[in-house]
Amino acid sequence: MPKENLIEQSLLAFDNKLHELNLFMTGVSQWFQTHPKLVKIEFPIVHSVKARIKSRDHLKDKLFRKWTDENPIGPENIFDRITDLAGVRIMHLYQDQFPLIHNEVLAKVNDLNDWYLPEAPKAYTWDPESQKFFEDIGIEVHVKESFYTSVHYLVKPRSDSPLCCEIQVRTLFEEIWGEVDHTLNYPEPSDKVSCREQLRVLAKLVGAGSRLVDSIFRSSQ
């Protein structure tokens, strides 16, 4: 079947699951926004939460980018190949808060069996100190030359469900870099050397800023 036809059928499969996908994503988002240990009034661990369903146009672009003759994407495998159709982003103030969020996610998966992880959580970072931080917690680390920094979880309501939501967890400093990079340098990298160099400098400022905030809170205890 021609590539264009398979992609159109994949988009129709997405349309047919959109309502259920949106409900699952909303539940994941609400869980973080209302969790009593993570949103304590006196000092919340979770600063803010964003949620979005990938737009049909962006999905179409991604299908064309990822589709190959050797590994085509069709309606039968779109939900296995494209795992960020629904996304929830969790922002927190500084890195030392992350283990508290991670432990609650694991409790949701392992103790309550409310979520299923189709793959192990992954930490993306370029910073050697952050790499050690996440490895000490037991999270698989992927070094990103692009300076992208975030922890990713894929969650499903059960192992055989096609519904999947990507959870990204990052600090507010990392969110700033991510938003600027996503606007100017994604999905196609900027062709301006100066822009790419400034993004690199911003990533280093973000790393220094995150470390300074951690130090401030540690010194205040």
**pLDDT per position as a tens digit, 179-191:** 898 899 887 888 8
Model pLDDT, residue 144: 85
- So what's the pLDDT on residue 13? 97
User: Average pLDDT, stretch 23-27?
Assistant: 98
Choose between 26 and 68: higher pLDDT: 26
pLDDT at res. 38: 96
- Decide which of 181 and 100 is more confident: 100
**What is the rounded average pLDDT for all residues in the chain?**
93
> What pLDDT score was predicted for residue 92?
96
* Residue 194: pLDDT band with limits 50, 70, 90: very high
Q: Is the pLDDT of residue 67 over 90?
A: no
What is the pLDDT confidence band of residue 78, given thresholds at 50, 70 and 90? very high
Domains recognised in the chain with CATH numbers: 3-220 (3.30.460.10)
Of 71, 56, 70, 67, the C-alpha closest to 13 is 56
The residue that leads in pLDDT, 109 or 146, is 109
**Whether the predicted pLDDT of 141 surpasses 90:** yes
DSSP string, 131-200: HHHHHHHT-EEEE-TT---EEEEEEBSSTT-S--EEEEEEEHHHHHHHHHHHHHHSSSPPS-HHHHHHHH
Dihedral angle over CA of 44, 115, 176, 56, nearest 10: -140
Q: Is the pLDDT at 2 greater than 90, yes or no?
A: no
Q: Give pLDDT, residue 119.
A: 97
Q: What one-character-per-residue DSSP string does 79-137 give?
A: HHH---SEEEEEEESSGGGHHHHHHHHHIIIIIS---B-SS--EEEES-HHHHHHHHHH
pLDDT of 188: 81
Supply the pLDDT for residue 29.
Answer: 98
Of the two residues 165 and 204, the one the predictor is more confident about is 165
Q: Residue 43's pLDDT is what?
A: 85
Q: What percent of the chain has pLDDT over 70?
A: 100
pLDDT at 146 over 90: no
Phi-psi region of 138 (alpha: psi -120 to 50; beta: other; left: phi over 0): left
